[in-house]
Amino acid sequence: MLRVHALYCGSLEFERKLFFPASAEGLRMVAPVSSYLIVHPQGKVLFDTGIHCDARTDPAGRLGKRIASLFGIRSQAGEDPVGQLALLGLKPGDIRYVVNSHFHFDHCGCNASFPRAQFLVQDAELASARAEPKRYDAKDWDLPLAYRAIDGEHDIFGDGALVLLPTPGHTAGHQSLWIRAGDAQFVLTGDACYTREHLEKTILPGNTFDAARMTESMNRLRSLRDRRGVTLLYGHDAEQWHALPRGRKSLI
């Protein structure tokens, strides 16, 4: 049986317009940043690694002036994957695989903390990060880590329990994770869909790499929800996040 733990990695505060382009100027919103631990009999998997700890004390130094001016970091010490894993009695060395949904600063900021893990990233994301370094922060991802380039769907343990699902559009090689444990099915959407409202209304945020492909990815996620009974766990949905069991309590 799988266990799935939602790990809190702090929050971001920013102009609502960044998420909802039709929103009025001057409205602010706060969104959670998350990481997920999946305990599979053949190894532990971490989905995304949140924001680097230094961003809490020196946002401009770590994230650069532009990102730091757009996003306020609302995190306490320990609200990062290493701190959250410690609450479950785990160390970074216990993680076999890290999945990066994509290479934005709030999804791969603590990659360096997992030097013994194998990192599963879509080939298209690695290629995009190498070809267009300005879109990403090399400090977060361009490290001597064991990156494995994945091309398309990938069944991590070969038993159908954890399947990487390409959901491009937000970035060139974005991916989500489909979790199947008996009747319980989840997709960790990452930023393929920020919130339920984005999915319901097919809202594309300002920061979209390819609108047509993002719409396609959202349609695919919607169809998994509506036709296959999959629960979507959105990338930055405060309302959903607050209702989820978190930390030690497994989702299944």
Site residues (vs Zn ion, CB under 5 A) = 104, 106, 191
What's the min distance (Å) between Cβ of 42 and Zn ion? 28
Residue 244 Cβ vs Zn ion, minimum distance, rounded to whole Å: 17
Which CB, 115 or 206, lies closer to Zn ion? 206
Q: Which is nearer to Zn ion, 191 or 237 (CB)?
A: 191
Question: Which CB, 35 or 161, lies closer to Zn ion?
Answer: 35
Closest approach of Zn ion to the CB of residue 84, in Å: 17
Residue with smaller CB distance to Zn ion, 44 or 104: 104
CB of 181 to Zn ion, least distance (A): 25
CB-nearer residue toward Zn ion: 83 or 173: 173
Closest separation in Å from C-beta 157 to Zn ion:
26
SS (H, E, C) the chain: CCEEEEEEEEEEEEEHHHHCCCCCCCCEEEEEEEEEEEEECCEEEEECCCCCCHHHHCHHHHHCHHHHHHCEEECCCCCCHHHHHHHCCCCHHHEEEEECCCCCHHHHCCHHHCCCCEEEEEHHHHHHHHHCHHHCCHHHHCCCCEEEEECCCEECCCCCCEEEEECCCCCCCCEEEEEEECCEEEEEEECCCCCHHHHHHCCCCCCCCCHHHHHHHHHHHHHHHHHHCCEEEECCCHHHHHHCCCCCCCCC
Closer CB to Zn ion, residue 80 or residue 106? 106
Minimum separation from the CB atom of position 116 to Zn ion (A): 25
